[in-house]
Structure 1
Amino acid sequence: MKPNSTELTILKLLWQSQPRTGKGIHDALSKRFGWGYSSTRKTLERMSAKGLLSEGMQGNKKIYSAKLEKMPTLALLAQDFAKQIMELDSPLPVAMFADSKIMSSEELAELELLLSSPSNKDNHKGEAN
């Protein structure tokens, strides 16, 4: 399952630092989405039910972590964009992502491997089932 744009925003936040409390996630994203806390909580519950997040407890607070791995998920989304939007059969050049603010040079190297790997086209490690 590919995350939608809202889910991807939450995953990107968690990939930066996890686990996070529901309130911590809400505080970081409330201005962007204009949501009340109940909307954030419902989205987190829905993402957990879909297998995108894991839930735990820290004291009396519910905490969330990403279940999807960052680089396989981003590779899947990049491949999907290349195929569905651009109608390309070949992998996207990793140079496109060189100035990304969310990837380190090590992650860029991992992305290059994932995008060029024929097995990744059929076996999406970052995809939750």
Structure 2
Amino acid sequence: MEKIAPTTAELEVLNILWKKEPLTVKQIHDAICKTKAVGYTTTLKIMQKMTTKGLLRREPNGKSHLYYSNYEKEETRGRLLDRFIDSAFGGSASSLVMQLLGNKKTSKQEMEEIMQIIEHMENETPSK
């Protein structure tokens, strides 16, 4: 399966599906409408395009269809992050982290979580 990076609107649909799938167009539309006004046909068109692109699959369910994501959340986020790091930071993850920590007040709890992740990664990385 080809790796396709979703658009912002497509990612919004995927985030809803990743919480609880399968869902109908109406269920996804209702979830989107909780945060912004969008027409039902707009939601339907986005999901039809996503199905054509291979981001979603649909299965008949009576008079409607149930939609499923074809990609896992972590796989998709990783792909989007890699693309962002490559395009905005020249492939440098450390530049991204330094920019992020410099632009936003990071809480003590967040810093502790980051340090735990780094420590965990160091302990799992074999010494050369």
Amino acid at match of 2:65: K
Q: Which amino acid aligns with 1:80?
A: R
- The TM-score normalised by the length of structure 2 is 0.67
* Among candidates 9, 24, 37, match of residue 21 of structure 1: 24
Unaligned runs of 5+ in 1: 100-107, 113-129
Task: Flag the 1:51–1:33 CA change in 2: closer, same or farther, 3 A.
Answer: farther
Report deviation, 1:31. Answer: 4.3
Equivalent residue runs for 1:32-47 within 5 Å: 32-47=35-50
Distance in 1 between residues matched to 2:33 and 2:93, nearest whole Å? 38
Among candidates 67, 72, 75, match of residue 72 of structure 1: 75
Query: How many pairs does the alignment contain?
Result: 98
- Aligned match of 1:53 in 51, 56, 59? 56
TM-score (norm 1): 0.66
**Match of 1:62?**
65
Bigger-Rg structure (1/2):
2
Q: CA RMSD in A?
A: 2.5
The aligned amino acid for 1:49 is T
Task: List gaps (5 residues or longer) in structure 2.
Answer: 102-108, 111-116, 122-128
CA displacement at 1:89 relative to structure 2: 3.9
Residue 88 of structure 1 and its aligned partner are, at CA, apart by: 2.7
Match for residue 104 of structure 2? none
